[in-house]
Structure 1
Amino acid sequence: MAPSTSKGQYLHGPKTLVLEERPLSVPGADEVQIAIRSTTLCGSDVHYYTYHRNGSIQVKEPLCGGHEAAGEIIAVGSNIAGLQIGDHVAIESGVACSNCKKCSKGQYNVCPDLRFRSSGASFPHFQGTLQEYVNHPAAWCHKLPSSLSFNDGALLEPLSVCIHAVRKAKMQKGDTCLVFGAGAVGLLSAAVAKIEFGSKVVIADIDPGRIDFAIREGFADVGFCVTPERGQNIEEKFALARAVATEIGKREWSTGEPVGKFEVVLECTGVESCVQASIYAADSGGKVVLIGMGTATQTWPISELTGREIDIVSVWRYAHCYPRAVEIMESMASKGLAPDARKIVTHRFSGLDSIPEAYATAAKTKDEESKLVIKTVVNL
């Protein structure tokens, strides 16, 4: 018998979670009902938890977080073909209208009517996956091969973000790549650049522990630890950014050759100083891909862009990336493809009652035992 309620943790204010039991309808004709098994926490989840907002998006009603998720189908609607009870699926959390001009062009990630789980952008909010059960359109569910666990399925969402970013960069085989930010998205972006294009990768971060992890686990070839400095005016800020790019360029590949400038820079922090350094670090005719969501209003050295014909490439989530993400993850699980994205899950929590601790841990770079925190997962 299908459940008629679903318990979940709902955010009522900054760091204020309430365990609620809400009514659950039977799945619609084109929906499946999913028992959530794994949700990995995203940076946006942590921002909502910490500030009750994400950038300019303010939470307007109690919000259940979580959108990187996988689970087991426990009921199906009357029009479902290709999926059945017992199937393990990854949830593509963005549901587009499928009828507008953007959707018809394949750009459903920028559909004006898109609803995204755990986001406060649409109202009523499309509630997230840190709950027992959800009804979700079957068209936005991806069946998992037997070699992939629920945790693997949850990681397909951030992996898809990175696949989309690298595709938009129009990278070519052998392009050198600089990644700013060695968190989950930075590590996965580096992995995709290596797997898809054989790139040599430099990764930069302010946390030496994350850099060491990236090098040790094969996500990057060279690491660079950024010392945070704050310029007092725009000239000082640009000078500091230029100096960071210059120092990164002096680092050496394993061949002893200086890394120089980069065909592609994947900026995964959203921090203004990192975006500025990315522009200086890019080679002439290169690309800077903006993946991280950070400072909303920034000042960039435009003459550096125009004088060296550097392209700024913006990305928003992903479109048509889950099938490739499944292939990559399956190769990691069954064929030993490296670097292994699954290694970024450093902390695991079990049960609805563990969700507050999972959030608190995800907001840190090290746990109480000084162990590195990269990605947390909640298993239900």
Structure 2
Amino acid sequence: MSPSVIRQQTAVVLHGARDLRVEQRNIWTPQQDHIQVDVKATGLCGSDLHYYLHGRNGDFALQAPLVLGHEAAGVVTAIGPGAAKAGFRLGQRVAIEAGIKCGSCSYCAKGRYNLCKNMRFASSAKTFPHLDGTLQERMNHPASCIHPLPDNVSFEQAALAEPLSVLIHASRRAGISPSSAPAPAAYQPPESIVVLGAGAIGLLACALARTYGVKRVYAIDINRARLDFALANGFADRVHCLPPPSQTDKPKTVDEQLRRAKELADAALKDFGLLEDGGAEVVYECTGAEPCIQQSIFLATTGAKVLLIGMGTRHTVLPLSNAATREVDVLGSFRYADTYPEALDLLARDGFVRTHIAALVSHRFRLEDCKKAFELLARGRDDKGQMVLKAKKHCNSP
């Protein structure tokens, strides 16, 4: 049976850099093995902001109008043919996993579907035609990508299962997770971790590291207010504020860039009391900025791991000889795979994670006011001077 139009609905559509329009679009009945979800909460993340400001995110450039948003939760409003066997029911509260894997490639077969070459990801311009995201009233999505919510997890908290999944995946790559050890008894958390970037992703990295038993958590940023927030709310044990970038004293050669990165890293390590140790056992780079990526290697001790989580800089000069001779593993970390069950379980049972995630949501907006939300994120502070960490589409329901 062919899909039919149910009604018109409101969607927020990006047509180009800073060209965000509120439009009326058709909502169709869900097709085979799909479920329709009334989206109750959607978080705006750094990739959404990159698309809004520049019409692209790294290598992925907008080729057609696109609905942004991929951190979402809502209520099941319709169940397509074949999807009933998945056990969902009308009115059920669910989280939406944005990526749709092909299920037939070698990466999907190995359980690394985040690397699937044919994956379609809601709100990403990586593939064309683009797959619309969650900044719309309702959306149809495969039942395999829908996850039931525990009773004590709100829509707003569940929407943050997506960025939490990014950090769960990175933590597995770094070995900072009981699930990444050969056996639960074999898991030994690292003594120290340094997180570059104290935005929402960086703060989640700090929170998750604490949950996984890391003894000393340190955060670095250029924004003093964010660092004060991280310290005051227990995300980090100590923080270090980088000096603002100077246009007059900008390094002109590669050697100067790397020398400057080493100096800044050493200053942070001295501040943290890690200089004699040679650095931290794990470093999470959550900014995507070239100077911070360079610093991440110098912040790592011999034999440590550096996780590249932030995106933004397309081409980066790295001190690879320094990393190679000290056996510092530089690991990419892209999205996530099979993390939603763990993310939702953490939100349901771990009070520290749930409480600290709630603290990240600083501003809430109606769907029609998303342009204001993006402009606010770009500024970093609201009209009252309050810091902006995480903006969300407004949610009236618990």
Q: Is 1:137 aligned with 2:142?
A: yes
Change (3 A) 1:339 1:87: closer
Contiguous gaps of at least 5 residues in structure 1: none
Q: Is 1:236 aligned with 2:236?
A: no
Q: Is 1:205 aligned with 2:225?
A: no
The 5-angstrom pairing of residues 34-183 of structure 1 reads: 34-79=37-82, 80=84, 81-171=86-176, 172-183=188-199
Change (3 A) 1:239 1:339: farther
Post-superposition shift, 1:355? 1.1
Change (3 A) 1:57 1:243: same
Match of 1:29 among 27, 32, 38: 32
Which deviations, in whole Å up to 9, do the C-alpha atoms of 1:100-159 show, x marking residues without a partner? Answer: 111010010011110000111111110011111100111101111111111111100000
Which deviations, in whole Å up to 9, do the C-alpha atoms of 1:269-328 show, x marking residues without a partner? Answer: 111111111111101000110000021111111211111110000011000111111111
Match of 1:294 among 306, 312, 336: 312
Match of 1:329 among 315, 325, 347: 347
Q: Name the counterpart of 1:374.
A: 389
Q: Secondary structure at the match of 2:212?
A: helix
Q: For 2:298 and 2:272, locate their aligned partners in 1 and report how far apart those are by CA, in whole Å.
A: 18
Q: CA RMSD in A?
A: 1.8
Q: For 2:275 and 2:257, locate their aligned partners in 1 and report how far apart those are by CA, in whole Å.
A: 29
Contact 1:191 1:339 in 2 (8 A): no
Q: Is 1:17 aligned with 2:20?
A: yes
Which residue type is aligned with residue 360 of structure 2? I
Which residue type is aligned with residue 216 of structure 1? A
Q: Secondary structure at the match of 1:48?
A: helix
For these two proteins, the number of residue pairs brought into alignment is 375
Which residue type is aligned with residue 251 of structure 2? G
Q: Is 1:359 aligned with 2:374?
A: yes
Post-superposition shift, 1:258? 7.0
Which deviations, in whole Å up to 9, do the C-alpha atoms of 1:322-376 show, x marking residues without a partner? Answer: 11111111124xx4557622211111112x2211111111222211211011100
Contact 1:118 1:125 in 2 (8 A): yes
Q: For 2:101 and 2:27, locate their aligned partners in 1 and report how far apart those are by CA, in whole Å.
A: 22
Change (3 A) 1:51 1:252: closer
Q: For 1:271 and 1:342, locate their aligned partners in 2 and report how far apart those are by CA, in whole Å.
A: 27
Q: For 1:61 and 1:50, locate their aligned partners in 2 and report how far apart those are by CA, in whole Å.
A: 16
Q: Is 1:305 aligned with 2:310?
A: no
Change (3 A) 1:92 1:175: same
Q: Name the counterpart of 2:270.
A: 250
Match of 1:187 among 185, 196, 203: 203
Contiguous gaps of at least 5 residues in structure 2: 177-187
Q: Secondary structure at the match of 1:3?
A: strand
Q: Secondary structure at the match of 1:357?
A: helix
Which deviations, in whole Å up to 9, do the C-alpha atoms of 1:24-74 show, x marking residues without a partner? Answer: 221123111101110000111111111111122211111111000111101
Contact 1:250 1:260 in 2 (8 A): no
Q: For 1:175 and 1:123, locate their aligned partners in 2 and report how far apart those are by CA, in whole Å.
A: 44
Post-superposition shift, 1:236? 1.4
Which residue type is aligned with residue 72 of structure 1? V
Which residue type is aligned with residue 178 of structure 1? V
- The alignment's TM-score, normalised by the length of structure 2, stands at 0.90
Q: For 2:232 and 2:316, locate their aligned partners in 1 and report how far apart those are by CA, in whole Å.
A: 34
Which residue type is aligned with residue 122 of structure 1? T
- The alignment's TM-score, normalised by the length of structure 1, stands at 0.95
Which residue type is aligned with residue 361 of structure 1? L
Contact 1:251 1:258 in 2 (8 A): no
Post-superposition shift, 1:252? 4.1
Q: For 1:201 and 1:228, locate their aligned partners in 2 and report how far apart those are by CA, in whole Å.
A: 23
Q: Name the counterpart of 1:261.
A: 279
Q: Name the counterpart of 1:281.
A: 299
Which residue type is aligned with residue 66 of structure 1? G
Post-superposition shift, 1:238? 1.1
